[in-house]
Every structure is written in C-alpha cells, then in structure tokens.
Chain A
Amino acid sequence: MLRLANNHLITLLVACAAALCISAHIAVAGEVAFLEDEASGDFNVVGELRFSSLAKLNARVVINYQEDSGDHYAVAFAGGKAKFFRVMGATTTHIGSIGALTPPRAGAETAAFTVQRRDWRMALVWDGRVIARAYDSLLHDGKAGTVAAGGGSFEELMIQPVGDIFVADDFVREEGGLSAWEVASGKWQQRTLREDDQAGRQDADKSANAFSYLGKRKDDKPAIAVTGYWFWDIYSMQAAIKPADHEAIGLVIYFQDADNYIVIRWLGREHPAGGSLQVVAVRNGESEVVAESKGGFRADQWYCLRCAVSAGVIHVWVDDELRLATRTDAFGQGQVGLYCESNKGAFFDDVVCGPWELFAENFTEEVPGKWQTLEGGWQHTNGSLRPTSNTPALVVTGRRAWEHYEYSITIQPAESGGCGLVVGYQDSNNYCLLRWAQKGTPYAGKAQVVRVREGEEKVLAEAPVSIPAKSWYRAEARLTDGLIALAVAGRPQVEAFSPGLTAGAVGVFATAAAGTQFDNALLQIIPPKQTSRITQEFADVSKHPEMAEWASTQAPWVKPDVGSTWWTKGDYFGEHALVFTIPNVGAKSGNIKLLVGASDPGDKDACNLVVALTSGSKEIALALRAGDQLLAEAKAQVEGPKAKLSFERRGHWLVVLLNDDCVLQANMASLPKPVE
C-alpha cells in the first residue's frame, strides 16, 4: 500500500515537473484558468467567446490577479450584459459602465473580444465596438485568466503586451524600398523628388528631405496605406499632406481592414459636396459621418493634418488649429493610415504617430469608480456634477502620474460659497487646491492657490477675483513643473510656484455652494516644446563658415565686437529658458551673468542671474536680481565635473534650476515697479 502510494507520489511529482518544464500555456488554480504569458504593465487579453445563448452565458475574464491575496479585476459576461468588477478580499465592487452583449450577427455563436488594461483605464471591445469602460488603479500586474462557468467557452486566448506607441516616417528611402507601410487599397508610390514647379531644379542629395509618399485612388477605391499594430488605442497621428486636387484626403485610425476603419476625411473647398472636415466610421464598407465641420483645403498646398484619439474622444487639428472634437465607441483599437480619394493623388510626408493622453468627462453617465468622493456628497444630475449639500465637498479622478497638463471645467456657481479645482492630487493629504469665492467663505473676493501637504493647508498665493454669479464660465488650471496657474472666464487670476509639485490626479471642490454645477471636464497634456534641430554637420563652422551665420548653434547670437557680452539677435516672448552646461566646475574662478527680458543691452532693470565659480571649489554661488535689487540668492554644491544650469521664465516667475533641481525662484508679478 505504501509502495503504491509512493508510486503515485512519484508519478505526481514527475508529472508536475514535466508540466512545469514544458511551460504549458495554461495552469489551473481554483476555478480560474490562468494564461501562462506575462500580464504586466499595460496589456490586452484578446480572444473569442463561444456561446449558445448570450442571455445564458456566465463567464469572466480575470486580470491583475494577485497571487498572494487573490485580489483582481474581472469582466463578467452574464445575463446579456458585460460589467467590470474589482474583487478585493471578500468585497466585490462594481466599477465602470455596463455594456449590452449582442451577437455579431443573427445566429452567430462566437464573438471576438479584447479586454484592454491601461494604467487606470480598462475597456471591453466586443465585436469591434467599445461597450464598457472602467477606471481603477489599485491593482497592477499579476496574472490573467478566464472562468467559463456556464453557457460558453473561451478560445484563441492571448495576452498582448502594450508598450509605447510610436512610429514616424520621413520616407527617406529609395523608390520601391522596403518600408513599414502596408497597402490596403489604391496605389502608393515612394517618391524621391518633389513634383512641383521647382522639381526640375531639385537634386535629392542637396535637399534635407526630398522624399514623400504618393497615394492615388485605384479601382474605384480610395488609397489607404497603414502602419502600426492592431492593439494601438490611445494615440495622436499627424502627417503633412499636399493634395493634387479637391478630392478628399485624410488620416485613418482604428484600421481593422479595408472595409472597417475610422477616417478623418477632409474635402477640398472646390469639392462638389462642399469643403468640410469629417470624422467617418466605415463599418463593413458602409460609411457613417460621426461629426463634421465646414471648411475645405486648397489644392497644391501642404497642410499638417493631426488627430488624436483617447477613450472614444477624437480631436482633429489642421495646422495646429483645433477644428473638430467628437466621440465614438467604434472599434476601440487599430492601426493608423493615410487616405486619399483622388485619381491625381496626394503627397504625404513627415508622419508621426505617438502617445496621447486626454481625459474628457461630460457627466452624462455616472460610471462607478471613475470619480472618487473624498469629502461631502456629489451627484450626477441632468448631465452635470453638483454637490449635494453645503458642507465642503471634494471629488477626484484620474492618474496620479499625470504631469504637465491643462485641466479645465465649466462651472455655474451658486449665489454664494466657494468652488475650485484640484490638481496634483496624490492622496487625500497631498494635493493642490485652486479655489475662489464671491462671498460666504473666509477667502471671499479672492482666488487662492492652496498647497495641502501631509494634511496641512498653506496658501501659496492669492489675488482679488470678480466673477458674476449664476452664469456659466470656464475655469482653467495649469500644472507645469511646479508652476500652478488659474484662469477663470478666460482671465488669468492667480499663480504660484511650488517646486516638487509636478504630477497628480485632478478634481473639483465646493463649499457652502449647494447649487453649484460642474460640467465638461477636460484634461490635456501640454506637448513638449519643439526645440530647433541643428544639422550635425553645420555645427562644425570651420568646415562650413558660410553656414555659421544662420545654420549653426551660434546662429541666434551676436558676436560682440568689444567686451564679452553675447546678446541674442531676436526678442523672446512668453515662457523661455536659457540652458547651458558649465563643463569643469572648480577649474577656474569667475562670474557669468545671464539676462532675460532685457529691452536692450543697456537695460539696467533687466532681471539677471550671476553665477560665481571658485577655483578648487565645487560650490556655485547664485544671485538673482532685478537690476541691482537682490531677489534671491543661494549656494549649491555640485557632485560631478559638470553642472547644467537653466535660467527660466515661467509665467510670472523666474526660476533657476541646477542639475534639474530648483535652487532659486522669484515672482516677477510682485516686484516693485521701477521708479519713473
């Protein structure tokens, strides 16, 4: 008996060892059949669900399953509906919107699905449509699996990791050369020279980039060329386009196949249908105009067409001007592409598809878990968000990793009480509140920037405010590398600089303001500024002395005839930074003086920074002045041989960063005016 038991113990061990060694795709733990592949970071679980009746289906997709605790998220397919749940300990919480499960066509017994997991977002794509969304970031990584409890089974399951979305193309390659583009329809050609009036004078090797991609309609089908991958879902896409005539051109997003995609379709001003910009969903070859705005293009002119899609919200820009914004739940993912309906064709160039982040909320549907109430009570009523009482009320949403953004919301204030926006929210004890009130609060008549740190409130800045009660207006907050700014009804109100406050979720606040309504919240990441690129070869001015004046790194500076002061050639408006590296700190003694905002070389009131270096010392002394008036000074130790210094104008603030740490700051708005 013992021998038999031993035999089977050995059998079991060997079987287990074999199973482990071969890494079979699925292991079974409890009722969940786990997928073997890694499900960390952002990922999709993709597969097909086979069912006899959707009403009788009882199945789940489990994601972010924590092996130690069993906590996880689940998408439940039951009772003809799809719902997201968070399971933590013994508590199951419904999060997200509810989607209706419909068969892809009458009598269909399978449907393709994708469960998308992105940091704080989740979405279910069912038969080419996003039917449910959820928002939660408590659980990450872990395992993924399925439960087929009744009425159906899972097939073709796979985990697809999702990384940074990026593709760019300047089409620098020989005609017919291998590329990342797939032709879906029409005729596409790599063109190595321009086709215009100057084409005869063109010489490819003397041009920065004489290459482009030419698309033409063929066989009564528009030209579509695609790139990227099927699982791309949140991105921006742009291309330079030169149409040869008035026929439609555009960008394709969420491409599934030649009969299923979304196209940003732009018609020329001479088009028989009239010039317009459209968002068109093409499903099974049938087109549906989702949104439209008037205005067409001129033929033979280059334009930059850009679109961005995030969680069903599509924005379209022409030459950096926002022209169209709309929503659609079609497809929810797919490749990107170029589009042309013209027989004469259109040239495409400088394609860039990259990451995008946008949060838009119109409060038409209350999605459990999307907004987190921290204080007071809030309710969604008639398409807006409003506090339920006069007690202080605070509600937040979003990612704690959001940084460098602009957050705005429409407000109709009550007759009294305060309201505000929350930015940089990390937890209930650490965030920044921008608040204002006409009456009924201790800060009545003021707008304030309040930093809450470890639960302690500190007013960083305040300014008088005047806002008409009971009328809708827009409030906008900006959080950019420690600079916090508030504008109300289009007018800047108050601004503060708080080093270290760079990222966080957002929210709204109200106190003693039961009638206040909030609507149309929008968060957009501010794109990084484009820096000018110097062609590497032209940096060597000894090789190209004729180019030094305008095409090298020296180009913006005027070389002094006498003395050692270098001035820039042009004026710089708005925010700007003077950035340079001190190569050998401690090698020599001496001072460097930097000036910003000087009206002319003789401007004695210009703001300036003096950097003092001492031979043999790693200490740098910094003094910030307005003319001769000392505003702030500091001494800082440098560890390495180099020191990167950045002297910046941010809003009304002057900021000095040493090796990316803020060492000096001064508010220019509070400076005394020069004596006349």
Chain B
Amino acid sequence: MNTANKTLSISVSGCPSTSLRAVSLSNRKPDLRDGWVFAIVLSMLLISAAAASAAKVVVEAEHYYTLKSSMAKASSQVASGSAYVHIPLQQPHGATEGAPFDTGYALFKVKIPKTGTYNLWGRVHWYDGCGNSFLLKIDDKPQMVFGNDGTYQRWHWVRGLRISLTQGVHTIRFQNREDGAKLDQFMLTTDTRYVPVRAEKETKQYIIRPK
C-alpha cells in the first residue's frame, strides 16, 4: 500500500480549503509505526488548523477562584447555571457615581488557550443607572470601568475592552463599583465578529478553581 501523498482536504472557518498532506517518511514497508506517525502528524495538523480558528473562554461567574465580601454569590432560575455573583443592594442604594463603599470582588483564574487579542464580554444585570458597573482588573493592568450602559433590570451581554493576552494563566477581577450590579458569565473570544446573545456554554477546561 502506498502511503505517500495521502491528502486530506478540510475547511476551517476563516481558513477555507486547507489541504493537509501526509507524506511517507521512508520507502520501507509500512508498519504499525507508520499508522501512528500518520495519526500523530494528522492530529497535529488538525490541531494547528483548529488553533487557527477563534478561541473562546466562557466562565460562569459563580466559578470564581476567590470571593471577597461584599461581592456575594446568589441563586436565580434565570441565570445561567442558576447562580451569579453580585454586589447586593445597599440600604439606601447608592445614588451618585461616587467612590465604591468597599473593595469586594470576585477573582477568576483562566487558562488562555492561545496568544491573541480578545474581546471581553460580560452577561450582566443592572439595577439602575447607579448600579450598572463593575471595576475590572486583568492581571496587573490598570483597573477600568466595565458596563455603565443603560439597559436595566434584565440580563444582557455587555462588551468590554479588547485586550492582548498571552497563552497561559491570567487573573480577572470584577470588583465593586456600584451596588445592585450582577454578573452571570463572562467570555473572552478572539472572534471579533461574534456577539453573544444567550447564555454561553461554559468552557470548564480553561477555568482554574481552588483545590
């Protein structure tokens, strides 16, 4: 059997009609090793082809690494995974855009699958115009405001910053800025066209949780 010039054509989104060619390594009689070599080469090529496609990391907010009060976990039938984290409403509710009353946060550790520029999205629920944002800090970068849009009292996705991340472990911290702000999921994706509209399927393989 001639194993030379085996050709497999596949198409990958954004990388159409990629031709993958496995070539025999020698002229000796094929044996079991050839099969494994072919499989390994094929797997590597397929993996590299897949790696060329978009990367997506989806994290349920209740799957934090650490949680500091006043950020708290809560249950809801309409939240993905039936749970979310939030800064509970204070009495009286904050009525200005002043400094937050504490530094409660939810800290996440995620494994970024490949180096690239990522869009950060958050599935959030805002109480009102004075309960519609978090402070966001990624690794040791300066913290910034996340949210501040005017869609209140319903779960919706909010687009955050675009950020360059290297392959490997990163920390993402959502911190108190206003009470009445809730976080259900967040997503990092290299696909600049994709817009989340529903709860996304969690990518557990990229989430680090305390043992």
Q: Do A and B come from one complex?
A: yes
Footprint of B on A, CB under 8 Å?
3-4, 6-8, 10-11, 14-15, 18-19, 22-26, 28, 33, 35-36, 41, 46, 153-158, 160-164, 166-174, 177-180, 205, 209, 211, 229-231, 351, 536-537
CB contacts (< 8 Å) of A22 on chain B: these are: 46-47, 50
Interface window among B32-40, B58-66, B99-107: B32-40
Interface window among B6-14, B71-79, B168-176: B6-14
A15 touches B39 (CB 8 A): yes
B193 touches A158 (CB 8 A): yes
Footprint of A on B, CB under 8 Å?
1, 10-14, 16-17, 30-32, 34-36, 38-40, 42-43, 46-47, 49-50, 53, 92-93, 95-97, 128-130, 133, 145, 147-152, 154, 156, 158, 191, 193-198
Q: A-B pairs with the 7 shortest C-beta distances?
A: A172-B129, A163-B197, A169-B150, A18-B43, A14-B39, A7-B35, A25-B13
Q: CB < 8 Å: which of B46, B53, B154, B193 contacts A19?
A: B46
Q: How far is the CB of B164 from chain A (nearest CB, A)?
A: 20
Q: CB < 8 Å: which of A3, A24, A158, A171 contacts B12?
A: A24
Q: CB < 8 Å: which of B50, B133, B150 contacts A171?
A: B150
A25 touches B50 (CB 8 A): yes
B150 touches A351 (CB 8 A): yes
Secondary structure class of chain B's binding surface, majority of residues? loop
Known: A24-B12, A33-B11, A166-B151. A158 touches B194 (CB 8 A): yes
Q: How far is the CA of A163 from the CA of B151 in the complex (A)?
A: 15
CB contacts (< 8 Å) of B193 on chain A: these are: 46, 158, 160
B50 touches A166 (CB 8 A): no
B197 touches A179 (CB 8 A): no
Known: A24-B49, A157-B13. A173 touches B148 (CB 8 A): yes
A23 touches B13 (CB 8 A): no
Q: How far is the CB of A208 from chain B (nearest CB, A)?
A: 11
Q: How far is the CA of A10 from the CA of B34 in the complex (A)?
A: 11
Q: How far is the CA of A158 from the CA of B15 in the complex (A)?
A: 12
Beyond the given pairs A160-B194, A173-B148, A231-B195, 16 more chain A to chain B contacts, judged by CB atoms under 8 angstroms and listed by A's residue number, are A3-B32, A4-B30, A10-B36, A14-B43, A22-B47, A23-B50, A24-B10, A26-B10, A26-B13, A35-B13, A153-B17, A155-B16, A160-B195, A180-B149, A180-B150, A180-B151
Secondary structure class of chain A's binding surface, majority of residues? mixed
Q: How far is the CA of A15 from the CA of B95 in the complex (A)?
A: 60
CB contacts (< 8 Å) of A171 on chain B: these are: 150
Q: CB < 8 Å: which of A6, A158, A178 contacts B148?
A: A178
Q: How far is the CA of A49 from the CA of B120 in the complex (A)?
A: 30
Known: A26-B11, A33-B11. A177 touches B36 (CB 8 A): no
Specify which of A15, A161, A231 lies most central, judged by the most chain B CB atoms within 10 Å of its CB: A15
Q: How far is the CA of A153 from the CA of B16 in the complex (A)?
A: 9
CB contacts (< 8 Å) of A167 on chain B: these are: 149-151
Known: A22-B46, A177-B145, A178-B148. A229 touches B195 (CB 8 A): yes
Q: How far is the CB of B8 from chain A (nearest CB, A)?
A: 8
Q: How far is the CA of A217 from the CA of B85 in the complex (A)?
A: 42
CB contacts (< 8 Å) of B16 on chain A: these are: 153-155
Q: How far is the CB of A599 from chain B (nearest CB, A)?
A: 39
Q: How far is the CB of A357 from chain B (nearest CB, A)?
A: 18
Q: How far is the CA of A411 from the CA of B17 in the complex (A)?
A: 56
